[in-house]
Amino acid sequence: MREQALLVVVASIVLLAPDVRAQAPAGNAQQGRELYLKYSCYACHGYDGHGGAGARLVPLALTSARFTSFIRNPRRMPPYTEKVLTDAQAADLFAYIKSLPASPSADQIPLLKRIMDAK
């Protein structure tokens, strides 16, 4: 009986607790664009975030907190520590990347549509 009551209490806390991700800075996409250009992110990720020498950023499947954590300690790019980018600037950069349009589907690209239709 006590175990069931404890389980209900724990479940209630988990379900009703505020979302930690919601506490991340909101971010300003325009300032993020300036940072994207300033730090030459486009050199590897392209101006549209669709990749190149670096990973494709669009669509970005990370939360703001996970994005910030990743850029602080990446595997294959320079780290952007708090000395380089503040948390607020990281949120701005995240907001800009999230504002980039997704890649078109294959049927929206004329040459690929013709190739697909030819089969």
Q: Phi and psi (nearest 5°) for 9?
A: -65, -45
| Domains of the chain: total | 1
Per-residue confidence at 25, pLDDT binned at 50, 70, 90?
low
Q: Is residue 20 part of a domain?
A: no
Is 35 a residue whose pLDDT tops 90?
yes
Per-residue confidence at 1, pLDDT binned at 50, 70, 90?
low
pLDDT tens for residues 64-90? 999 999 999 999 999 999 999 999 999
Q: Is residue 5 part of a domain?
A: no
pLDDT of residue 70: 96
Mean pLDDT of the chain: 83
Residues 90 and 71: beta-carbon distance below 8 Å = yes
Q: Is residue 13 part of a domain?
A: no
Per-residue confidence at 32, pLDDT binned at 50, 70, 90?
very high
Range of the domain at 38: 26-103
pLDDT of residue 95: 97
Task: Give the residue with greater pLDDT, 51 vs 79.
Answer: 79
pLDDT of residue 10: 42
Task: Give the residue with greater pLDDT, 5 vs 108.
Answer: 108
**Helices 87-99 & 64-72 angle (0-180, nearest 10):** 120
Q: Is residue 76 part of a domain?
A: yes
